[in-house]
Amino acid sequence: MEMPLMEHLEELRGRVLKSLLAVVIGAALCLVVVKPLVRLLEAPAKGIHFLQLAPGEFLFVSLKVAGYAGLTLALPYVLFQLLAFVLPGLTVRERRLIAPAVAGSAVLFLVGLIFAWWALVPAALNFLVSYGADVVEPLWSIERYLDFVLLLMLATGLAFQLPVLQLLLGVLGLVRWRSMLGAWRWVVLGSALAGAVLTPSTDPITMLLLASAITGLFIIGVGLVAFTEKLKPETP
């Protein structure tokens, strides 16, 4: 059923407000347990002593961590609101494509966060700490450290969306898997540039790990596109 423009805008406004409310509720819930969350984020920095360099620094850090965690916690509901708004205007084929793509995007985002916390952050910290261990004693600002960790995790989660983008382009017939694979040299170069841009530190270890992960995700995306092309019925 077609709807007037104003009704569409009103529906969009309502879904945006519901999504924002979900993020606020998620952030409030995470604020209650923010200290365990901060300790979890501090875990990769073994043996490092953190300092509060200004009055109220940890308070603002707590709000920031709760905000990021609340957004991650509310992500499934936000995606549900997005789907509820978009799907009625799509064809049956597009609905079958968009819904799994959005679900896969959420899963890959969470996998990217875990990968950054488990692999990228420890590798970066190990390099940065050991580089000047014989010259300076590492005493870090808790705010600067968490900014580093949260930015790296967010950038990695966004980089992990590459296979979903490839799958959408392939299913829509815009790019074939052979064309994707033929551009592997540009992908390796782009992965290296993305590793340099997305990582907040300048150490080569983190850049190399993120670039390798992006390249691996690209290969997975090529495989998914090739698989979907085989499932398509051949045109006479």
Average pLDDT on 30-45 reads 93
- In the numeric block, the tokens 């392939």 are attached to 170
Reduced to 3 states, what is the DSSP secondary structure of residue 147? helix
For residue 2, what pLDDT is reported? 58
Span of 38-47, 81-90, 118-127, 188-197 with lowest mean pLDDT:
81-90
For residue 96, what pLDDT is reported? 73
C-alpha span between 10 and 8 (Å, rounded): 5
DSSP bridge partners of 66: none
Contact 119, 209 (CB under 8 A): yes
**pLDDT at 176 exceeding the cut of 50:** yes
Average pLDDT on 185-196 reads 85
Buried b (16+ CB within 10 A) or exposed e, 94-115: eeebbeebbeebbebbeebbeb
- Encoded amino acid at 101, one letter: A
Per-residue pLDDT tens over the stretch 223-236: 888 887 776 655 44
Contact 184, 203 (CB under 8 A): no
H helix or E strand, kind and range, residue 170: helix 162-171
pTM: 0.81
Beta strands 49-51 and 139-141: pairing type? parallel
Q: pLDDT: is 94 or 107 the higher one?
A: 107
Per-residue pLDDT tens over the stretch 40-58: 999 998 878 899 988 889 9
Percentages helix, strand, coil for the chain (3-state, rounded to 5) are: 80, 5, 20
**pLDDT at 18 exceeding the cut of 90:** yes
Domain layout of the chain by residue ranges: 5-231
Reduced to 3 states, what is the DSSP secondary structure of residue 91? coil
Alpha carbon 71 to chain centroid distance?
Answer: 11
For the chain, the distance separating the N- and C-terminal CA atoms, rounded to the nearest angstrom, is 35
